[in-house]
Amino acid sequence: MHAHPADAAHTDDLDAHRDLVDRLFCKPNAPYGPYERAGEPEVIVPGLLFRVELNYPGDLAGRLEASVFIGIQGFAGELWEHEVRGLLRLDALSHPALPTIRSGGFDAANEVAFAITESQGQALNVDATVRWAQSARIEAFEAFSVLLDALNHLHGARLMHRNLTLGALRAVQRHGEDAVTVQLSRFELSTLIGNLVRRTALQNSAQVGELVRRLYLAAPQGMDQARHLAYLAPETLDFLLHERSGRRREWATTDVFGLGVLGFEWFCGPIPELLPEEFARAQAAAGPAQAIALATLRARMRAHLTGRVDLPKPLVSLLREMLEEAPEERITSFQALRRLEQNWEGIRRLWEDAADEVPRLVAFLPDQSVETIFELRKWISHSPDTPAGREALRNFYVRELRGAELVWSPNGAVGFANDEPEKLQEARWVLIGEQAVWFCAFLYDQDLLTRQRGEQHEDTLVIKYLKDRNHAQALVRAQPRRKVGRIEVVPFYPGQSLAKVRAGRPSWRPLTESVKRARARSSEEQEFLRSLDFLLAYQRTALDARKYPFIRTDKAEDPGLAVLTWDEHRDAAWRHRSQLLTAFSTDPKRRPRLSDFVENLDVDSDFITLDVVPGHQRGPYFGHRVIKVDLVERRDRDTIVVRPHRNQDRVPSIGWLRPSDDGGSEPQIARQAKARTMLENQAALIRSLRAPISYDLGRGRWRSAPDAQLEGEAPDRINDMLALQPFYALQGPPGTGKSTVAAHALRRFLREEPGARVLVSAQSNYALDNLAARLIKEMPDVLILRETPDGQDDEERVKDHTVLAHTLGRLTDRLAKTIESQLTWMLHPERLSPEERRRFEELPPGERPLPLNDQDRPVADAWLQSVTSNQIELTDRIKNGASIVLATCSIAATITDTDRDPGDMFDWVIVEEAAKAWPTELIIPLVLGTRWTLIGDHRQLGAHREEEVLQFLRSLRDHPDKDMRLHYDEREMRERVLRMFGHLFVDREEPDTGPVSYHASPLGQLNLQFRMHPDIAQPVGRAFYPYVPFRPDDDGLPKSFLGTSSLADLDHGVQRPGFLRGAALVWLDTTGLEDCAEHPYWYNQGEVEVIDRLVDRMRPAPLAVDRPAEDDGGLVVLTPYRAQKNLLENKGLLRGRVHTVHSFQGREADRVIVSLVRTTRSGNTVAGNVGHVGRNEVANVLLSRGRRLLVLVGGFAHFAEHGGTSWDIITKTVRRYGRIVPAEQLTGE
C-alpha cells in the first residue's frame, strides 16, 4: 500500500517515485502519457528532483528522459519554471549539440512538475573517450568544434551551463541518423545550481551551500575525483573547497574553462598519464589543500601546452587561453569560436593528407560578371568580355577571396538573386568575401545542346551569384563557418572542361559538410516547409508575370511620346523560364496581353505609371537605369503609348516594363526569403506554427489583481499569454480589445523581466501604431522604439504623433538634448536659459546633478562635444537598449543588419493582424525571437489575394509535370499554411485535430466586444461568430458567442434625417429606384447620389474630414469596389471619407455608411449575384467598423434572396434589430 500521492512525492522512496511515474506517464489513461518506463528513477537531489528514462510504447529507439520536480509551490516549482524556460530557449536554437524538449507540465494534485527531453544519450567513459580522440583526431576536432559552437549559442541566448565537466557530455545518435553527436546535457543541474547559487549569495545558507557542493563534487561513474575537479573553473573551486562564499563565481567564461580541459585531454592526452605527480597530489589532498594542489595541476597543464610542438600552434594557443586562471582574462566562447573558425583549415590540414597542400579550386563566370561587377558596381575598370578585363576580374577575385570564410545557406541564393528557383537553391555554399558574399555550387558536366547534366565534381566550386555584404548580414554572421585557406580562382565558360586544372585538387566536401548544420525533418515538417517555399515562389512568379518585354515601334511621331509593342517572341522565352511561370501564365485572367494588363492596373493616382529598362536579354533587371513613364493611351491589345516623366529621358528601342508600384515588392519578397532561410534551423518555431504545443509556466502567479478592472475574458487571456510558452495565439472578433490585452500583458511582463527585449510587429503601419499608442500610454517609463525604413520621412509612415515621437531620429534628438542640458548644468550652468536653470534648481537635492570636480571635467567636456556633434553612439544605445521595438513585418527584416545573432535578438515576439499577413511575412519577425504570440481574427480579411492562390492550385490538377502536380496533391497543406492563423482555431473546433498541451491550450479567444452598439453587433455576431455546434434561437437564427459590453450601448445623437433618430442599425433600401442599378466592374451611380444626399442632410453634421473618424461624429463611407470609391470621392462632401474594405480593416468610425452596389441576379452563385460581399470575411469587415451608427445602402430584397446563407442571416437580423427605410424617404425629408 502506497502513501497519499502528495506525501509520496515528497519522499525519496524509489517505490513511491516509481509509482508516481507509472501513474502520471505509463498506465492506461495516464494524464501525461502514453509512455513506458525504461529504467529506474534516479534521485538527483533528495526531496527535490529525480529523473527517469521513458520511451514511446513499442519504440525502444525513441528514448526520452523525464526530470520530475517535487513541490511546485516552493523552490522546486521555481526551479522547474527556469528549467523549462531554458530548455525552450535551447530548443529554439535547434543546435545538434543541445537538447530538445518534448513535453512539460505540472500536476497540482501530486504537487510535482516535469520536463521531458529527448534521451541525452550514452554517458562518456573518460578513458575510452580520450583514446578515441587520440586515434581519430579529425573526428574529435569536429566534435570539439560543434561543442564550442553550441556553447557560443548557449551564451548568446543568455544561458549558462555552470557544470561543464565530462559528466555533462553524452554521445547521441538520433533515430534515423547515421552520425553520432557529442551533446551538452544535464541542464536541469545547470538551472538548479544557478538558483541555489543565487540563494546562497542572498541568504548565505549553510544548508543550500552544502547542496551546491554536493552537486558540483559528484564525479561521473568511473572517474577519479581529482580528474573531475580538474574540469571545474578556479572561481568555482574557490567556493567549493575554500568556502569563499563572497567571491563572484559565475562568469560567462566559467563554461569555457571546462570545455578547455576537455580539449586538453582529447588533443594532449589523459591528465593522470601526462602529469602523474601533480594529479596524485590533487587526488590525495582534501579541502583547501586540494584547492592548492589543483591550482598547481592547472598551471602544469598550461605549461604542458606550451611545450606541445607536435600539435597545431593555433589549437595550442586556443586551449591555453581557454584555461586561463583568472575568469576575466579567459577567452569568451564567441572569441574562441571565431579563433577556431579562422584557423580551422590550418589545424585540420596538419592531420590530413599532404594532398591538401594544393589550393582548392574556385571557378568564376566572366560573362555574368560584365553587368554585376563591371557595369553596376564598377569594382574593375575593364569589361570582362575583353582579355584585359578577364585578367582584372581574376585579380579582383584573388583579392576579394584571400581571407574568405565558407558558410551554408539552406535555401541557396533564394531571396538574394534572381533566377530560376531550382538554380538559386543549388548555390548553397557561400564564400564571405571582403565586399560581397558569393553563392557557389559544385561544378557539374553538362551537354550544352540537351542541357542534360553529367557528373558532379566536388573539387570545384563555381560562383553563381553575389550579394553585397551590407545586404546579406544574416549570412555574414552565419554559424558555423570555416576559413577556406588557400584557393585558386580560374575563369569558366559553360561547356568548358576544367579537367586539367582540377587534377590533384582537394575536395571541398570536408569543408562543406562541416558548415552544414541541419536536423532530420519529419515528413509533416518537410511538407510544411515545401508549402512555405511554394508561397514564396508563387509571389515571385506573380510578380514576374507583371513584367513584359517590348519593342519601340514609333517613327518619331511625337518626340515626347513612345509607342511600345509587346515582344511576343521574348515573352515566350520569359514565360517558359520556369514551370510555375508557364502554368501561371496559361490563364489570360492571370496574365493578360500587354494593353489589357496596363489599362486595368489598380492604382491610387490619376495616372498609370510604369518602370522601363533597356535590354535584349531574356529576363529583365530593374536594379538600375530605370525610366518612369505614364500611360497615354492604348493602340490595340499589344500596343500602348507612353510619355516619360522627364523630358531628357529617352525610352529605349527594346526593353522591359512593369508597374512602377511593383518596385517595392522585390525587396519585400527578398526579406521573406531570408526569413525562410533563417527558419530552416528553427525547429521549435516550425513545430509551433504547424502544431503548437505550449507549457503553462505560470503556476498561477499571473492570476492577480492588476487586470481585475478589465471586463470579460481579458484577465484570463492576459494570464494565458504570460504563462503559456513558447507559443500563444489570441483570436478576437472586432472590437474585443485584443490590443488592450497585449498592452497589459507586456506591461506586466516587463515589470517582472525588466531586462527583456520584445519585438511587436504587424503587417500594416496603422495596426502597428494603434497598438503602439496603447503601449506608450500603458508604459510611459519604458524605452519604446518605432522602427521605420531608412531614407524615408518618418511622417510618411507614422501618422500618430504620439508614436512618431518614438521613432529613432526623434528619440535620439530628445536624448541628446537631455544629456546636453544635464552636462551643461554640471559644467557651464551659466550657458543655460533661466527656465532651464530653474528646472534643475527645483529638483530635490537627491535628484539634482552635482557640479563636477576638476578631475572629471575634461571627460564630461569631451562627452558634451561628442553628443552635440555626433549622435551615432546615442542611436546605437537606443537601438540596443529599447525594451520594446515596434516594426512592420517587412521592416523587422532590417533589424538584423546590425546584430550579431539575429536568431536570438528578442525574448518575445508579438505579431498583431496575424490572420491578415501572408505566412511568409509572419515569419520575418518570428525568426528573431524564441517565444511567439500571434494576435488576429481569421474571420476577417485574410492574406491578400489568397483566393487566387487557391484557384491556381486547383488548376494544377491535370498538369503534365509531376512537380507541378505535387502542388495540387499537397494543396490541403498549402492552404493550411496560407491560412496558418485561421487553421489553428479551425482545428480546435474539430475533434481530435486540435493542438496538444497538458491542461492548457495555446489558443485563446476574446468574446466581449466594446466597439459596436449592441444592435450593430447582432448581425456581425450571428452571421460570423456563431456557436459551434449550431445553437438556434426561437426564430431559427444562430446564437453568437460574441457579447457586448454595456460601455458600447451609446446613442449616436443624429437627429436628422428623422429615420436615423434612435436607430443604430439602418438599411436604406434602394429597391425599385431606377437610378440605383449596378454597372459592370463595379459601380452604382444611384447609390452615390443617395449617400451624398444622406450626408448632406445629416444633423449634427459629421466631423470635419481631418478629424479622427473614431471620434464622436466621425464618418466614413465603405464600399467593396474601387470604381464605386472613385465616384463617391467625386462628391465634395464625401471626399477624403471613402475607403475600400481592405484599406479600412483594423480601423473604426463613429458613423459608417456602406455602399453595396450590386442589384442584379447574374446566375446561381453568391459571388455572381452580390460580388465580393458574398465572402464572409469581406462582409464581416464592412459591418463591424461602425461604433454607434451603421447605414447599409442597397437593395434589401436582392441581398436577402441572393446573398447566400450569411446575408440571409444578416437581413433577418437587421429586420429584427434595425430599421429598414425606403431610400425614397430621403427626398421627402
Q: What is the CATH number of the domain that holds 915?
A: 3.40.50.300
Buried b or exposed e, range 630-641, using 16+ CB within 10 angstroms:
bbbeeeeebbbb
Q: 173 lies in a domain?
A: yes
- Residue 1020: the pLDDT is 97
Same domain, 313 and 448: no
* Mean pLDDT, rounded, for 386-412: 88
Residues 893-948: tens digit of each pLDDT: 888 655 444 445 799 999 999 999 999 999 999 999 989 999 999 999 888 888 89
Confidence grade of residue 44 (pLDDT, cut at 50, 70, 90): confident
Question: How many other CB atoms are there within 10 angstroms of residue 55's CB atom?
Answer: 17
Q: Would the pLDDT of 620 be above 90?
A: no
Domain boundary among 96, 118, 140: 118
CATH code at 202? Answer: 1.10.510.10
Query: How far is it, in rounded angstroms, from Cα 399 to Cα 373?
Result: 14
Which has the minimum average pLDDT: 178-192, 541-555, 1188-1202? 178-192
Spell out the SS3 assignment of 312-337.
CHHHHHHHHHHCCCCHHHCCCHHHHH
Give yes or no for a contact between 549 and 571, defined as CB atoms under 8 angstroms apart: yes
Domain enclosing residue 17, as ranges: 5-118
Same domain, 1213 and 1094: yes
Which has the minimum average pLDDT: 234-238, 413-417, 429-433, 518-522? 518-522
* Mean pLDDT, rounded, for 972-977: 92
Total domains, the chain = 7
Confidence grade of residue 980 (pLDDT, cut at 50, 70, 90): very high
CATH code at 34? Answer: 3.30.200.20
198 CB contacts (<8 Å, ≥6 apart)?
none
Same domain, 632 and 736: no
Domain boundary among 668, 701, 728: 668
Query: How far is it, in rounded angstroms, from Cα 567 to Cα 16?
Result: 82
Domain boundary among 118, 136, 171: 118
Confidence grade of residue 449 (pLDDT, cut at 50, 70, 90): confident
Residue-averaged pLDDT of the chain: 85
Specify whether the backbone of 1036 is left (phi greater than 0), alpha (psi in -120 to 50) or beta.
Answer: left
- Residue 25 Cα distances to 2, 28, 66, 640, 980, angstroms: 17, 9, 10, 72, 32
Residues 677-710: tens digit of each pLDDT: 888 878 889 989 988 888 888 766 776 666 667 8
Q: Would the pLDDT of 3 be above 50?
A: no
Same domain, 113 and 126: no
- Looking from the CA of 633 toward its CB, the CA atoms found within 13 Å total 3
* Mean pLDDT, rounded, for 777-785: 90
DSSP β-ladder status, 36-37 and 562-566: unpaired
Question: How many other CB atoms are there within 10 angstroms of residue 750's CB atom?
Answer: 21
Same domain, 382 and 345: no
* Mean pLDDT, rounded, for 509-520: 77
Residues 217-231: tens digit of each pLDDT: 777 777 888 898 999
Q: Please name which of 955, 918, 954, 957 lies closest in space to residue 936, comparing C-alpha atoms.
A: 918
* Mean pLDDT, rounded, for 882-888: 93
Length of the chain, in residues: 1229
Q: How many helices (H) and strands (E) does the chain have?
A: 51, 39
Which residue type does 1168 have? Answer: G
- Residue 532: the pLDDT is 92
Query: How far is it, in rounded angstroms, from Cα 463 to Cα 971?
Result: 35
Q: 806 lies in a domain?
A: no
- Residue 815: the pLDDT is 80
Please say whether the dihedral angle defined by the alpha carbons of residues 768, 774, 778 and 782, taken in this order, is positive or negative: positive
Query: How far is it, in rounded angstroms, from Cα 200 to Cα 207?
Result: 9
Q: Would the pLDDT of 992 be above 50?
A: no
- Residue 989: the pLDDT is 60
Which has the minimum average pLDDT: 351-360, 538-547, 616-625, 1002-1011? 351-360
Angle at 113 between CA 110 and CA 117, to 5 degrees: 135
Q: Would the pLDDT of 278 be above 90?
A: yes
Same domain, 113 and 164: no
807 CB contacts (<8 Å, ≥6 apart)?
785, 786, 787, 788, 794, 798
Q: Is 1067 helix (H, G, I), strand (E, B) or coil?
A: strand
Same domain, 173 and 309: yes
* Mean pLDDT, rounded, for 621-648: 89
* Mean pLDDT, rounded, for 1023-1036: 93
Q: 818 lies in a domain?
A: yes
Phi, psi values for residue 429, rounded to 5°: -100, 120
Q: Pull the grid cell for residue 1128.
A: 463617391
Same domain, 1150 and 1058: yes
- Residue 100 Cα distances to 89, 96, 120, 516, 610, angstroms: 10, 9, 9, 19, 51
- Residue 837: the pLDDT is 84
Q: 69 lies in a domain?
A: yes
Q: Which of 448-452, 522-526, 670-674, 850-854 has the highest mean pLDDT?
A: 670-674
- Residue 95: the pLDDT is 75
Same domain, 616 and 744: no
Same domain, 235 and 175: yes
Query: How far is it, in rounded angstroms, from Cα 1030 to Cα 42?
Result: 52
Q: 792 lies in a domain?
A: no
- Residue 822: the pLDDT is 79
Same domain, 1199 and 1061: yes
Confidence grade of residue 565 (pLDDT, cut at 50, 70, 90): very high
Query: How far is it, in rounded angstroms, from Cα 749 to Cα 757?
Result: 10
Q: 165 lies in a domain?
A: yes
**Rg of the chain taking only CA atoms, in angstroms:** 34
Q: Would the pLDDT of 354 be above 60?
A: no
Q: 987 lies in a domain?
A: no
Q: 1057 lies in a domain?
A: yes
Q: Would the pLDDT of 84 be above 50?
A: yes
Bigger pLDDT: 725 vs 1214: 1214
Query: How far is it, in rounded angstroms, from Cα 986 to Cα 942?
Result: 14
* Mean pLDDT, rounded, for 640-647: 92
Same domain, 57 and 161: no
- Residue 338: the pLDDT is 84
